[in-house]
Amino acid sequence: MVGSARLPGFLIPPTRYLFFTRKGGVGKTSVSTAAALTLADAGQKVLLVSTDAASNLDEMLGIELRNTPTAVTRAPGLWVLNIDPDTAAESYRQRVLAQLDLAASDTERATVREQLSGACTTEIASFDEFASLLSDAAPGFDHIVFDTAPTGHTLRLLSLPKAWSGFLQGNDRGASCLGPHAGLMMQEARFKAALDALSDPRQTTVILVTRPDKGALDEAARTSEELRALGLQNQRLVVNGEFRATDRSDAVACAIEALGQQALAELPRSLRDLPQDGVPLGAFGTVGLPALRALLGAEADAIASVKAVLVEPIEHFAGLAALADELAAREHGLIMVMGKGGVGKTTVAVALALGLIERGKTVHLSTTDPAAHLVGTLRAEVPGLRVDRIDPKVETQRYTAPTGHSLLLMDATGACHRQMMREFDGRGAGRVVTPPMRLRAAEYTRIILVALPEVTPVSQAAALQDDLRRAGIEPCAWVLNKSVLAAGTHDPLLAARLAGERKQMARMSGGLARRLFTVPWLTRPPIGFVELSRLVRREQLSDAMSSKDADASHDPR
């Protein structure tokens, strides 16, 4: 058993399955890894599982992730498993093909393999691995901790057992991207066992990880409601990154504290009755075992370890106003703002759209993000701006199985490109313009990556950039959002974190980003037309900082 002293409630006592979920960018991986490490340090045998294709567990723990359990050096009792989607998909294909009748022709086998080649099968295969762990395929472990993928992906994984059960009951023949029906019938018992384990509060605790931020808390509330509808009732809320200013003369620190307190005071109704744990903002990042072990310690320890830090001024990086100027210099084109969930890509996209309108352009602003916040972020109708959303659920019902991820959309456009080239077979191909051609054309398409000034978001943006480059697409710029270093602070805790932020700035400007633009952490949230417009005006930095003295007078204590 794990001792209760100074531990979060979800570890007193821990259920066998701990299921950490939420959108990206809230510290879910850090909290789940720290929890797994705490259990292992207490003498338990723990398996930490990532179902996230963009997981950075390898960087945090200093090990190479594999599709089989791997022991963590210097952490006896802790093992890590990464469910790699591509590996899982190929394994799934091989198992399904092995179930075909020996008399099946090569053509029939090729047809089945084609049915199993899409994104739907990749997701099904990942769930197949996930379900095996929940149906007790890991009997040697005391606890299994799941660091899940972002919300939309996770919810689909959780809803599959029910959806498949209905499919199996209502069909007795045929095949789909799930594979031949006979193969699914063989796995029905495993899917049922997985759902039973997820729904059993004696076995499973679902931990919703969030930040003390209104948008993140609203997302957590929606996730909580959807999980309850799936039968997962045993939920807890973890608020990661709670902050208390230690220097009341620091306007930025006081504003960060006040915004967090206000967000928690206005907690959505569906979260109010959940047991809640707070994780204080630490002075340092969560890469490495010492930092992870300290994450779930007491707030007093985190603050006591902070020493005065001299914060040197940073090299000046241009803001969004300069980026809007560059984009407006082109007659027309496509602008794609991309990044991991929670880094502020919606804010950046809306601000750039307003900046282009201010510079005389008309803009069609759209999103394919399942958790889109365009309307809530803008809160106004703007002449010259058309806003809409491409709903992945609606569009995929019209076409194929759901994915919801931008890169998979790009993969689909690549398939379209190849099909069109085959159909034209050289006849008039010079007049054909396909989506991949547009995306690769730097004179038409501008790809902008958004990241936060922390190790994990920068690493994930770098991985996204690598994926884009493999597809022949080159990002034109990065935007570093919510930079406390650019805003300026002398609060001891925040100042201690700035050495890490400076390293990430150097990392980006030293080769990762072709161009780097910054958005300082603002004392007023960039929500609504007025605040968003500030970000793209040429006097943006001075405007943003001019409110600091006024905000400092509002002491929440």
Q: Which residues are catalytic?
A: 25, 27-30, 52, 456
Contact 325, 358 (CB under 8 A): no
Contact 264, 239 (CB under 8 A): yes
Helix (H, G, I), strand (E, B) or coil at 524: coil
- Using CA atoms in the order 128, 133, 139, 141, what is the torsion angle rounded to 10 degrees? 150
Burial label for 20, CB within 10 Å (0-12, 13-18, 19+), is buried
Contact 162, 121 (CB under 8 A): no
Query: What sign has the CA pseudo-torsion 179, 185, 190, 191?
Result: positive
**How far is the C-alpha of 464 from the C-alpha of 280, rounded, in Å?**
29
Phi-psi region of 339 (alpha: psi -120 to 50; beta: other; left: phi over 0): left
Contact 174, 87 (CB under 8 A): no
Contact 477, 519 (CB under 8 A): no
In one-letter notation, the amino acid at residue 530 is V
Which candidate, 273, 301, 350, 323, places its Cα nearest to that of 476? 323
Place of tokens 């710029």: 477
Helix (H, G, I), strand (E, B) or coil at 149: coil
Listed in sequence order, the residues at least 6 apart from 166 whose beta carbon sits closer than 8 Å to its beta carbon are: none
Phi-psi region of 329 (alpha: psi -120 to 50; beta: other; left: phi over 0): alpha
Residues paired with 445 in a beta bridge: 334
Residues paired with 238 in a beta bridge: 209, 277
Which candidate, 4, 81, 16, 9, places its Cα nearest to that of 42? 4
